Amino acid sequence: MTETDHDYFMRRAAEERAAAERTDNADAKRSHIELAHRYEAAAAAVLGMPVVQLRVGRTGVVPEEG
């Protein structure tokens, strides 16, 4: 069975979230979470859902400025 694009992006998002949980390094954690968000956005886009770009800042996830 072939993995769909949506399934691939969701799997990668889960892998990045797991990597974020495993690391103690705050910068690495932010990077993994940001990648997870990007994969989730790609998964939503594949389904034709509207996507809001977010970025991970020092205070949490915030909408990306124009």
Measured distance CA(40)–CA(25) in Å, rounded: 23
Query: What residues does 56 pair with on adjacent strands?
Result: 61
Measured distance CA(47)–CA(34) in Å, rounded: 20
pTM for the structure as a whole: 0.75
The 10s digit of each residue's pLDDT in 7-49 is 999 999 999 999 999 999 999 999 999 999 899 999 999 998 8
Tell me, what's the pLDDT at 44? Answer: 92
Domain ranges of the chain: 5-63
Tell me, what's the pLDDT at 66? Answer: 45
Cβ atoms 53, 63 nearer than 8 A: yes
* pLDDT of residue 5 exceeding 70: yes
Cβ atoms 40, 10 nearer than 8 A: yes
